[in-house]
Amino acid sequence: MATLNFLTGNSGKLVEAQNLLSPLGWEIQSFHIDGKVPEIIEPQSDNLTTVALAKIAQGVELLATQGRFEESLLVEDSGLFIDALPEFPGVYSAHVLQSIGCEGILRLLDENRSAHFLTVAALWTGEAVEVFVGRCDGTISIDMKGDGGFGYDPIFIPNECENGHTFAEMSAEEKSTYSHRGRALRALFDYLNVDGA
């Protein structure tokens, strides 16, 4: 089984990547230095790609300091974008979740509840950086529902899910079928398979 290092401080992201890619023959290993996930500085930017590229640049530097420059490394930046709240929480999704939480988002919304999630994944192949994007359109629920997943999952209903469940009411497998992360990681898997990286 091939190994891919994933640099993330978010265990929910790690588990989703493992669930999706392990059955396809890729072992997703959390990238650690001295037994812990190294700190990465996220730039102030209103663009997920800019943030993902800044994360991978720092990650590759860390690989180099470990003498592991030729190993592959994955980072990703994700955000929830709500039509009624332009650019919000967007690139500030982590901060907004910590400050007002899902309940705070629900309080801000009225009739227009359309939203989408985006993931920009950046992969260091050992030679170059490749970028993969995934998008999931949906709506923000009226109430929080479900206890699976993480982050905004209890308030996000993907349009493609016909029974109107939030991500938090789904198995990890079902969430990946529809999700921004699932799409970005399937594109990454296709690239790895074709390229043999």
Q: Which positions are annotated as active-site residues?
A: 77
Cis bond before residue 23 (omega within 30° of 0): no
* Residues 19/89, Cβ–Cβ less than 8 Å: no
Structure tokens at 166: 């939030």
Output the smallest distance, CB 127 to ligand ITT, in A. Answer: 23
**CA-based nearest residue to 194, from 30, 186, 27:** 186
Q: What residue ranges bind ligand ITT (CB under 6 A)?
A: 8-10, 13, 77-79, 93-94, 97, 149-153, 167, 179, 181
Output the smallest distance, CB 30 to ligand ITT, in A. Answer: 11
Of all residues in the shown chain, the one whose CB is closest to ligand ITT is 151
Which backbone phi and psi does 169 adopt, to 5 degrees? -95, 5
The secondary structure element, H or E, covering residue 124 is strand 114-124
For 162, other C-beta atoms within 10 Å of its C-beta total 6
Nearest-angstrom CA–CA distance, 120 and 48: 6
Nearest-angstrom CA–CA distance, 96 and 79: 11
Which backbone phi and psi does 74 adopt, to 5 degrees? -120, 135
